[in-house]
Structure 1
Amino acid sequence: MSTLLNFDNVTSYYGATRILKDFSFEMQKGECLCVLGRNGVGKTTLMRTIMGLTDKSTGAIRINGTELTGKAPYQRATYGLGYVPQGRGILSDFTVRENILLGTFARADKAPEIPELCLRIFPYLKENLDRRAGLLSGGQKQQLAIARALAVGPQILLLDEPTEGIQPNIVHEIGEILKMLNKELGISLILTEQHIKVARKLGDSFIMVDNGRVVARGPIEDMTDELVERHMTI
């Protein structure tokens, strides 16, 4: 496999405060990388740093060898980054259709139409394109957030706590969809996750984060119960 995303000694700031500190990792094309750790250790900041949404970052961030540091978020999206933020970021007053179409603005081909994939994997959305997004349930909003990110035509799908606050049957359904996107369609995934079972089911590799630093990494089989207890229990 070839290296798709490279983080080299990245430090990321909100104001003058360092959140990520000398953060380094590589991600291979087609991989599912799970980012784990307690709340408040920097997982969301990692996602926002990749997208260029923090106040400042130093170090090098490269996708397919192209340097992203200094590029605006909308420019980064055109390199194939689809982002599902924590809290989903759905525009409640927009329809389902309008929310998904927002993702198409970053497409390389600029096609202003909903990709067939989005409607095929989320039949509820297909049947409710003109429904106001604010009326959807939490699980349906998460489906919509994923569909909007897929409308970018991403190489890498970034998902920040994709199973947070969702009922167990929907967690399973979303897990199966993410697995299909990764293993069958070859879309690389980076997901922050609190559910260890979900991470072990979906992940090929993991990064354990504590206090803004990488404290452990490796193939998902190396994520032992002892490691989880040390860095994730409160």
Structure 2
Amino acid sequence: MLLTFDNVSSYYGATRILRDFSFDMEKGQCLCVLGRNGVGKTTLMRTIMGLTDRSTGAIRINGEAIEAKAPYQRAGYGIGYVPQGRGILADFTVRENILLGTFARKDKASEIPEICLRVFPYLRDNLERRAGLLSGGQKQQLAIARALAVGPQVLLLDEPTEGIQPNIVHEIGEILRMLNKELGISLILTEQHIKVARKLGDAFLMVDNGRVVARGAISEMTDALVEKHMTI
């Protein structure tokens, strides 16, 4: 298995957000994590990266335990992260933002990897543009390019289509499909758009109150299951 969670609980201060959370993920999959707002989806992503206050249980990547590793060390295992809100540094240029992703590369390469610019031609043509001037969709492209600069075997994307115009949602979806199906980069994405999840996903986790309440192949994600765990 590429990634395994075994009875993981994760905390902010004394508050437990993830509760005995277990799943595994095969290499090459696109795993969609679904559920209402506030149920622990973002905390799952931050737990994978080691960004919560503490966690218990076992986290393994390619069979190797990483639960005691610092965030920068986890990135060195080939985990790229696109956080909710994108985390773009507005005063940095496009080039500088992408180069931040290279710091965790095992090969210590300090140039922008070609894949970042091949996938996002707009960024290639605007490397010296200040990132704060980009549109929402362009910032999301930049956030994905920065994560790709890590040289990831798995990309974590927290609400990658949030706040983006419908035509750009389609474009981002096609890019993610290409990264997953053509380049073989595994994806874990949290998503509110059911259509996006069904189009991109191979498998799903449904989360409620910090626990996995359903899982399976994306074809098993029924309308009844969505209504039960995602409608307000």
Aligned partner of 1:107: which letter? R
> Which residue of 166, 169, 172 maps to 2:167?
169
Aligned partner of 1:59: which letter? G
Whole-Å separation in 2 of the counterparts to 1:11 and 1:37: 18
Whole-Å separation in 1 of the counterparts to 2:150 and 2:168: 23
Aligned partner of 1:105: which letter? F
DSSP-derived class of the 2:98 partner = helix
How big is each residue's C-alpha offset from its partner over 1:138-181, in whole Å with a ceiling of 9 and x where there is no partner?
A: 00000000000000000100000000000001000000000000
2:26 alignment counterpart: 28
Paired residues in the alignment total: 232
1:189 alignment counterpart: 187
> Which residue of 125, 142, 145 maps to 2:143?
145
Aligned partner of 2:64: which letter? T
2:221 alignment counterpart: 223
Pairwise CA RMSD of aligned residues?
0.3
DSSP-derived class of the 1:134 partner = helix
Whole-Å separation in 1 of the counterparts to 2:5 and 2:18: 11
> Which residue of 3, 26, 36 maps to 1:38?
36
Aligned partner of 1:50: which letter? I
Return the offset for 1:9.
0.3
Whole-Å separation in 1 of the counterparts to 2:156 and 2:112: 19
2:158 alignment counterpart: 160
Residue 101 of structure 1 pairs with residue 96 of structure 2: no
Segments of 5+ residues of structure 1 without an aligned counterpart are: none
* Paired residues for 1:117-156 under 5 Å: 117-156=115-154
Whole-Å separation in 2 of the counterparts to 1:55 and 1:70: 12
1:68 alignment counterpart: 66
DSSP-derived class of the 2:104 partner = coil
Whole-Å separation in 2 of the counterparts to 1:65 and 1:163: 31
Whole-Å separation in 1 of the counterparts to 2:168 and 2:17: 32
Whole-Å separation in 2 of the counterparts to 1:68 and 1:198: 30
TM-score (norm 2): 1.00
DSSP-derived class of the 2:68 partner = coil
Aligned partner of 1:182: which letter? N
TM-score (norm 1): 0.99
